[in-house]
Amino acid sequence: MQNEKDLLQKFIQDALLEDIGDGDHTSLSTIPEGKEGEAQLIIKEEGVLAGVEVALEIFKAVDADLKVEVFINDGAEVKPKDIALRVKGKVYSILTAERLVLNTMQRMSGISTTTHRITKSLEGTSTKVLDTRKTTPNMRFLEKAAVKIGGGVNHRFGLYDMILIKDNHVDYAGGIKQALNAAKNYIREKEKNIQIEIEVRNLNELQEVIECGEVDRILLDNFDFETLRQAVRLVDGRFVTEASGGITEQNVLQYAQCGVDYVSMGALTHSVKSLDMSLKALKS
């Protein structure tokens, strides 16, 4: 797995290539070569800012001579008319970076804003909010970073850093006991230092997992509130519990009040609204 710095640089280069192709012909045809200018990034609605550090890397990749002054950092609450940053240098470079900076920051800020709102709603409970793998291809590392900025917790990054035995795995393996035994044998044989989580669909499956033991986390999928409370009582603190399935911003507190350690929400990343902002030229 590449580290985040390498992932970011590859993301930026691929995104710029996608957008620019053989040149920004609008800017090339209308802006005198070498003309310098200044622009500022203006926030247009309330939220939690994310992606500032990424924007700095985008500007640097486009033109290392661009000068960027940051006024608001990642994780700060923002409101309309706030100025997050100002960039100065060649106009062509500013315009080249504009859309990628905005697309990235708007998306990340939408995720951090939603996550922050949900984590605030759970204050007073011990439940934490997890993201999922329901992310935009090749932007997962940015979207998961935005979840953390908003106060959430990252679940596994991909298929490689945790064993998560879901219903299909259980059915194909021939049952819960078979799936768990196979996973434990695999970890021993491959000498992998990764955790095991298993999904259960009802209290009978939960009881079977409890009897088998040797799991790090139990995923309680699509349980109604009463059954979820029963499940938490059955587990009795012996395993980490996670609820998933049908959890929304409107009902997440009710899930948390059932006593689970985590709630996982695909909605953090797959259906958020981007935070509105714009990069506007400063006229000299």
- Catalytic choice (60, 86, 99, 192): 99
Question: Is the pLDDT score of 150 beyond 80?
Answer: yes
Count CA atoms closer than 13 A to 20's CA, side-chain side.
19
Number of structural domains the chain divides into: 2
Compute the distance between CA of residue 112 and CA of residue 77 in angstroms, rounded to an integer: 10
**Are 155 and 264 found together in one domain?**
yes
Compute the distance between CA of residue 45 and CA of residue 78 in angstroms, rounded to an integer: 8
**Are 240 and 277 found together in one domain?**
no
Structural domain that includes position 169: 120-270
Is 199 one of the annotated active-site residues of the chain?
A: yes
**Are 187 and 248 found together in one domain?**
yes
Is 99 one of the annotated active-site residues of the chain?
A: yes
Distant-in-sequence, close-in-space partners of 280: CB < 8 Å, separation ≥ 6: 39, 40, 42
- pLDDT value at residue 4: 86
208 CA to centre of own chain: 32
Compute the distance between CA of residue 164 and CA of residue 228 in angstroms, rounded to an integer: 20
Rg (CA), the chain: 23
- CATH number of the structural domain spanning residue 74: 3.90.1170.20
Q: What percent of the chain has pLDDT over 70?
A: 99
The one-character DSSP state at 284 is -
**In this predicted model, what pLDDT tens digit does every residue of 223-260 receive, in sequence order?**
999 999 999 999 999 999 999 999 999 999 999 999 99
- Catalytic choice (133, 166, 192, 201): 166
Q: Using a cut of 0.85, tell me whether the model's pTM lies above it.
A: yes
Q: Which single residue is written with the structure tokens 């981007």?
A: 274
**Are 182 and 260 found together in one domain?**
yes
Is 10 one of the annotated active-site residues of the chain?
A: no
**Are 152 and 207 found together in one domain?**
yes
Distant-in-sequence, close-in-space partners of 87: CB < 8 Å, separation ≥ 6: 38, 39, 40, 41, 59, 66, 67, 68, 69, 94, 97, 279
**Are 135 and 254 found together in one domain?**
yes
Q: What is the mean pLDDT of the segment spanning 163-187? A: 96
